[in-house]
Amino acid sequence: MSEDALQLGVADPITREDLLRARDRLRVRQTRAAGRGLRLLWLLAGPGVLVMLGENDGPSMVSYATTGATYGIGFFVPFILLTFLMAFVVQEMTVRLGVATHRGHAELIFQRFGPFWGYFAMGDLVFGNVLTLVTEFIAIQAGGLYFGVPAAISVAIGVALLIVSLALRRYATWERVLMGLAVGNLLFVPAALLAHPSGAALAHALVAWGPLPGGFGAGFVTLILANIGATVTPWMIFFQQSAVVDKGLTRADLPQGRLDTGIGAAVAAIAAIATLVAAAPLYAAHVDVSRFASGADFATALRPLLGTTGATLFALGIIEAGVVAAMTISASSSYALAETLSARHSLNLDFARGRLFYGAAIASALLAAAIVLIPGAPLLAMTLTVNVIATLLMAPALLFLLLLANDHAIMHDLANGWRANLAGGTIVVGIALVGAFYGVITVFPALLGG
């Protein structure tokens, strides 16, 4: 209800958005009252699973495949687990922010820090989102090429699927459709099993955190950044907080919101490690992946090593990763833009009320698709670089998150404690240091003997 309406003693008209959210909340209340714990988790799960599996996107899976093909099974297996633990720490804060404030992340930054920092945060998000969305269509194109589908057709199908998902005009339906598609992220698991990995090698990697063939160099640091950027990025913060609000989660739902995020992180970590393991035979075969032009080359190169079934699963997984991420990242941009402009922002909106919200998602998808179809674009290089850029953009996004999570005026008893601040602060410092080191060795490669 608006402030003017309150002063006049007149309520705003009840909208379709209000009715849909109220219906969902009634179902949650009835399920909680009946003591049906698993059913309650099913109703409240979604934002956490989607944000984690959505971040297992096209560039992320290519980064994991490149890591496996470059270093085999070793250092990066436990490192990937560490990055998803980092992701859980970050995203748990966004759940608490959404539950405590019922405001999206962009809206909160404008309200608490003012227009300058609000537009700064939006610039950080939009720049990263546009670049990442381009790579999602690169992934869709790459998977299509493996099956002989022309690039233009694959990209057009990707855009069409995104628009169809928005046409559902129902947050709960959109969420369940995407969760169904996101299960496809696990296609990398049977692909990894077809690589016949050594259980002893995996156990040794997890226990001993190694080995690291090839040593410490610029390529290693680049993949460190790419793997961090594959799990912790600014769009995740904006998307999950807005999705928590759109879903209508309350303080009573916080345990399920945390569990939702933890389950998403665990499943995404399994798929990420499976992708690395599936590509590890390329390392054993001494295949130079630096010559690959796109993600399709991974599937093609893996065919004689994994068989046709394994390579097909890998290619389908790349397509799924691009499609789901394109839908979630475009929604993240729409939420943030609409919140910034004080426009209505919900996937429950009809098109008349949500022109800006839906239009932003469609426009960003069309722009990204057009960039992907530019002849001669260095697609694989772009894919890896985007994850590196995402990592470099993460430090300021995390600082805003930490400041908001410590703002007792809006968080009250849900504000960060010392443990959350220690974990969050360590992540900020760690990402900033790795990013700074990457900048130094890029400018002065001789430091590493380059």
186: domain CATH number? 1.20.1740.10
What are 150's two structure tokens? 């022309």
Output DSSP code: residue 252. G
**How far from the centroid of its chain's Cα atoms is residue 257's Cα?**
17
pLDDT at 422: 94
- Is residue 13 in some structural domain? no
Residue 97: pLDDT band by 50, 70, 90 thresholds? very high
Distance CA 142, CA 155 (A): 10
pLDDT at 6: 43
* pLDDT tens digits for range 390-426: 777 788 888 899 999 999 999 999 999 999 999 988 9
User: Backbone phi, then psi, for 391, in 5-degree steps?
Assistant: -65, -40
pLDDT at 405: 94
Distance CA 117, CA 109 (A): 7
Domain of 115 in residue numbering reads as 45-448
- Is residue 90 in some structural domain? yes
Distance CA 112, CA 126 (A): 20
With residue 84 as reference, give the H or E element that holds it: helix 76-101
- Is residue 30 in some structural domain? no
- Is residue 26 in some structural domain? no
- Is residue 176 in some structural domain? yes
Sign, CA torsion 235/94/266/426: positive
pLDDT at 80: 92
Q: Mean of the pLDDT values across residues 110-136? A: 86
pLDDT at 393: 77
Which amino acid, residue 309? T
- Is residue 17 in some structural domain? no
Which amino acid, residue 200? A
Enumerate residues 6+ apart whose C-beta is below 8 A from 354: 344, 345, 346
Share of the chain above pLDDT 70, in %: 90
Residue 8 has pLDDT above 60, yes or no: no
DSSP 413-445: GGS--HHHHHHHHHHHHHHHHHHHHHHHHHH-G
Count: domains in the chain: 1
pLDDT at 392: 75
- Is residue 63 in some structural domain? yes
Whether pTM > 0.85 for this model: the answer is yes
Q: Which of 95-109, 212-226, 298-312 is predicted with the least confidence, judged by mean pLDDT?
A: 212-226
Residue 380: pLDDT band by 50, 70, 90 thresholds? low
**pLDDT, averaged across the chain:** 85
pLDDT at 274: 95
pLDDT at 211: 64
| Residue in the structure block whose two tokens are 């001993």 | 208
* pLDDT tens digits for range 38-95: 999 998 989 999 999 988 888 888 889 988 888 888 888 899 999 999 999 999 999 9
- Is residue 222 in some structural domain? yes
Output DSSP code: residue 216. S
Distance CA 114, CA 108 (A): 9
